Amino acid sequence: MSTLLVRHIKTLVQAETQLRSVVKGSEMADLPLLHDAYLLAKDGLIEAFGPMSECPASADTVLDATGRMVFPGWCDSHTHIVFAASREEEFVSRIRGLSYEEIARQGGGILNSARRLQAASEDQLYEDAWQRLQEVIGYGTAAIEIKSGYGLSLESELKMLRVIRRLKAVSPIPIKATFLGAHAVPAEYKERREDYIRLIINEMLPAVVAENLADYCDVFCDQGFFTVEETGQILQAAARFGLKAKIHANELGYTGGVQAGIAAGAISVDHLEYTGEAEIDALQKSDTLPTLLPSCAFFLGIPYAPARRMIDAGLPVVLATDFNPGSSPSGRMSLVVALACIKMKMLPEEAIQAATLNGARAMELEKTHGSIARGKAASFFITRPMPSLAYLPYAFGTDLVDTIVLNGRVWEGPNSNKKS
Ligand SMILES: [Zn+2]
């Protein structure tokens, strides 16, 4: 039995006495805060919290948080952190004037990552992804989703998903795995794309499910990638195998991807840079979460998703990093929160809810993560001294995450808190 006590917390953020599973619309601005508070963890879980006047006298570990705030760990529900190489040469091509789609047509983009991944060993991919996982834990992330999708062949997709399984086995934070065989059509299938769809449905999905390698199935439903009809076929097949959908939609145009995800009962539809009334209307009538990835819009210079209109329409907006080598080479959730405020006009309170509780819901982890609540995982971070909550997105270039606690233990960098 071990206990950890944080005392004199200036503000305990997202402290729930009434458990919520998701926060929608106008409720998003109503972030539960407790000032001058304590937080007690016991055996890895949150045991109690409350005003300092009720603080317990002692614990095995005691941390003082005078002038500092405590946040539940970020919940990053959309990443691609298993990859073989960075792609800064394409970044320079874009500076010189090529678009993301032009680069993709010339064999760059996802197909470039796929070639490099196919050549990489499972062990090397695992080592690199482990380092990225440590990096994002250091930014305060306490739950994460990771996708395949740079394999694009049976063997390489399985290799990626096995890397994610190895990460899951030792990670101090929960990981959800998503099968994204339909990330792009490989070059050799360009003239016979229906054969690639068949490969996904008849060979990849059964193999992924036989090894229990995925929690979700994703499709990049967008112009130049997979059509609404192809997306429907793949997601229906995934559903027959018991895999729920989480899809990429409406990043490059009004393609019907949002509606295709909703029709398949997707947990979330992600990206949504191109969202109009029809998409908002469809989301309002569903339980599918809209997940926005502003660091991708920032990096690619594409329009930002209309978060303000979504929230005003009563939707439960989610924020995630989309950490990947092509369109968002950053896994820093604090930056995503800042961009949501600066570029999408979300209030700091709304952005924090979107990056914690709603992110947890987008991974079906809302019962254990996403807020400070009794019985949830004691996985949170203590900030550097901050004058106010809004200071976090305002000081967007400052690393304000100071001390990280995972499952009731202080995290001291790579390999600390590693499951044995
Ligand atoms: Zn993505």
Q: What is the pLDDT of residues 154-184, one digit of tens each?
A: 999 999 999 999 999 999 999 999 999 999 9
- CB-count exposure of residue 361 (10 Å: 0-12, 13-18, 19+): buried
Summarize the confidence of residues 30-53 as an average pLDDT: 98
Q: Phi-psi bin for 158: left (phi > 0), alpha (psi -120 to 50), beta?
A: alpha
**Per-residue model confidence (pLDDT) at position 420:** 53
Spell out the residues 6+ positions from residue 102 whose beta carbon is closer than 8 angstroms to its own: none
pLDDT score for 99: 85
Distance 78 CA to ligand 1 centre (A): 6
Instruction: Please list the residue range(s) of the chain that carry CATH number 3.20.20.140.
Output: 75-361
Residue 296: per-residue pLDDT: 96
Which CATH number is correct for 3-72+370-410, 2.40.50.1040, 2.30.40.10, 3.40.50.720, 2.40.50.140?
Answer: 2.30.40.10
Start-to-end C-alpha separation, the chain: 18
- Cα of 418 vs centre of ligand 1, distance in Å, is 27
CATH superfamily ID and name for 75-361:
Metal-dependent hydrolases (3.20.20.140)
Tens digits of per-residue pLDDT, 210-260? 999 999 999 999 998 999 999 999 999 999 999 999 999 999 999 999 999
The pLDDT assigned to 245 comes to 98
Give the pLDDT mean for 349-360: 98
Task: Give residue 296 CA to ligand 1 midpoint distance, Å.
Answer: 9
Answer whether residue 272 shows pLDDT above 90. Answer: yes
Calculate how far, in angstroms, residue 109's C-alpha sits from the geometric centre of ligand 1. Answer: 12
Summarize the confidence of residues 11-38 as an average pLDDT: 97
Residues of the chain with CATH 2.30.40.10: 3-72+370-410
CA 27 to ligand 1 center in whole angstroms = 27
180 Cα to the center of ligand 1, angstroms: 10
What is the distance in A from the centroid of ligand 1 to the CA of 116? 18
Q: What is the pLDDT of residue 367?
A: 98
pLDDT at 100: 75
pLDDT reading at 104 higher than 90: no
**Coil, strand or helix: which one is 69?**
strand
Query: Rounded to the nearest whole angstrom, what is the distance from the C-alpha of residue 322 to the centroid of ligand 1?
Result: 5
Distance 417 CA to ligand 1 centre (A): 28
Over residues 140-159, the mean pLDDT reads: 97
Encoding tokens for residue 208?
Answer: 């992924």
Neighbouring C-beta atoms of residue 301, cutoff 10 Å:
9
Residue among 81, 16, 97 nearest 301 (CA): 97
Is 80 exceeded by the pLDDT of residue 418? Answer: no
Q: Which residues pair with 175 in a beta bridge?
A: 144
Compute, in angstroms, the gap from residue 301 CA to the centroid of ligand 1. 16
Confidence grade of residue 415 (pLDDT, cut at 50, 70, 90): low
Residues 54-80 pLDDT 10s = 999 999 999 999 999 999 999 999 999
pLDDT of residue 83: 96
Q: Indicate the average pLDDT of the chain.
A: 96
